[in-house]
């Protein structure tokens, strides 16, 4: 059982890296990638837990990148977390996130939401603040009934708490992952609201830029979307990745390692560029 996309408290997951690994091991996962947003701070703790629980840990990351004016997510799998280019680039992203958090709080204040920055900081276990931390605070304060609603009403484009992403380019992200000896995979391609034409132009560009694969089976795709992405992977000759995008037990419909089977004609990324052993 292979799960190549998960989050811990090092970004916006709710389990500590050690607990995540333990739960994955209990669920029967044999190889697990920890892919926190723009951050590798959880990897060392996860590695220790993996050694104790006889599970293979793949050091990973989910980079926020820009393409054609939008934010995309790029997975880096099997990265060397000590790479100095990576360390420098991630510090810049952390600085942007810090600034963005203040901006989000300021904008929310304009519509009468008080102390959102303090609230989000309390939800985050580290100094990496994401929209999920704001979302949890806003739900707790009764500004929306659940996580979905809070994004829809406050945190997405066109809504009062939205701040435009200023992440590295897709090209820079792929190069950074390669410099860190990792494998670059486009995360959850069906989650960007791209038309079929636009999505195919993205895949074409990913090919040109040397990306190593696309996430075909995702915990945040429908079964139909998995099938569609399998077809795109075959059309473009991309190896296929799979991951739950697990963020914690509070979303019980997403479980560690529980994924529908990948299309039989796809080449799994662990039989192409990614070493798991």
Q: Which parts of this chain interact with ligand AMP (CB under 6 A)? A: 12, 37, 64, 130-132, 147-148, 151, 247
Q: 205 in helix, strand or coil?
A: helix
Please, which residue, 98 or 198, has the CB nearer to ligand AMP? Answer: 98
> Token pair of 244, please?
């739950």
Partner whose binding site includes residue 268, from ligand AMP, Mn ion, none (CB under 5 to 8 Å by kind): none
Dihedral angle sign, alpha carbons of residues 13, 15, 18, 23: negative
Q: C-beta of 6: minimal distance to Mn ion in Å? A: 8
Q: Please tell me the distance from the alpha carbon of residue 7 to that of residue 251, in angstroms, as a whole number.
A: 13
Please, which residue, 242 or 264, has the CB nearer to Mn ion? Answer: 242
Q: Please tell me the distance from the alpha carbon of residue 209 to that of residue 107, in angstroms, as a whole number.
A: 36
Binding of Mn ion at residue 12 (CB under 5 A)?
A: yes
Q: C-beta of 84: minimal distance to Mn ion in Å? A: 25
Partner whose binding site includes residue 151, from Mn ion, ligand AMP, none (CB under 5 to 8 Å by kind): ligand AMP
Give the range of 49-57, 170-178, 184-192, 259-267 binding Mn ion by CB under 5 A.
Answer: 184-192
Residues 193/90, Cβ–Cβ less than 8 Å: no
Binding of Mn ion at residue 245 (CB under 5 A)?
A: yes
Binding of Mn ion at residue 73 (CB under 5 A)?
A: yes
Give the range of 15-23, 71-79, 98-106, 258-266 binding Mn ion by CB under 5 A.
Answer: 71-79
DSSP string, 5-17: -B--TTTT-SS-H
Nearest to 39 by CA among 59, 21, 67, 20: 59
Name the residue with the smallest CB distance to ligand AMP.
Answer: 130
Q: Please tell me the distance from the alpha carbon of residue 102 to that of residue 106, in angstroms, as a whole number.
A: 6
């Amino acid at each position: 059982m292979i799960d190549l996309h998960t989050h811990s408290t090092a970004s916006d997951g709710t389990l500590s890296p050690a607990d995540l690994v333990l739960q994955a091991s209990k669920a029967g996962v044999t190889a697990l990638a920890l892919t926190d947003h723009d951050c590798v701070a959880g990897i060392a703790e996860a590695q220790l837990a993996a050694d104790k629980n006889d599970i293979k840990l793949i050091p990973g990351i989910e980079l926020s990148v820009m393409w054609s004016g939008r934010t995309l997510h790029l997975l880096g799998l099997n990265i060397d977390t000590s790479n100095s280019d990576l360390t420098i680039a991630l510090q810049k992203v952390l600085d942007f996130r810090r600034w963005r958090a203040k901006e989000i709080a300021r904008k929310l204040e304009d519509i009468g939401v008080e102390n959102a920055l303090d609230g989000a900081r309390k939800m985050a276990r580290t100094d990496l603040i994401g929209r999920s931390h704001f979302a949890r605070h806003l739900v707790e304060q009764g500004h929306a009934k659940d996580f979905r609603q809070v994004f829809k009403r406050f945190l997405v484009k066109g809504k009062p708490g939205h701040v435009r992403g200023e992440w590295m380019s897709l090209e820079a992200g792929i190069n950074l992952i390669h410099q860190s000896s990792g494998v670059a995979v486009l995360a959850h391609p069906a989650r960007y609201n791209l038309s079929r034409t636009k999505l195919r132009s993205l895949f074409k560009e990913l090919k040109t830029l040397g990306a190593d694969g696309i996430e075909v089976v995702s915990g945040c795709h429908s079964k139909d979307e998995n099938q569609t992405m399998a077809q795109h992977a075959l059309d473009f000759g991309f190896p296929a990745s799979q991951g739950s995008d697990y963020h914690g037990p509070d979303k019980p419909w997403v479980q560690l390692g529980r994924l529908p089977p990948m299309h039989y004609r796809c080449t799994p990324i662990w039989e192409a560029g990614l070493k798991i052993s």
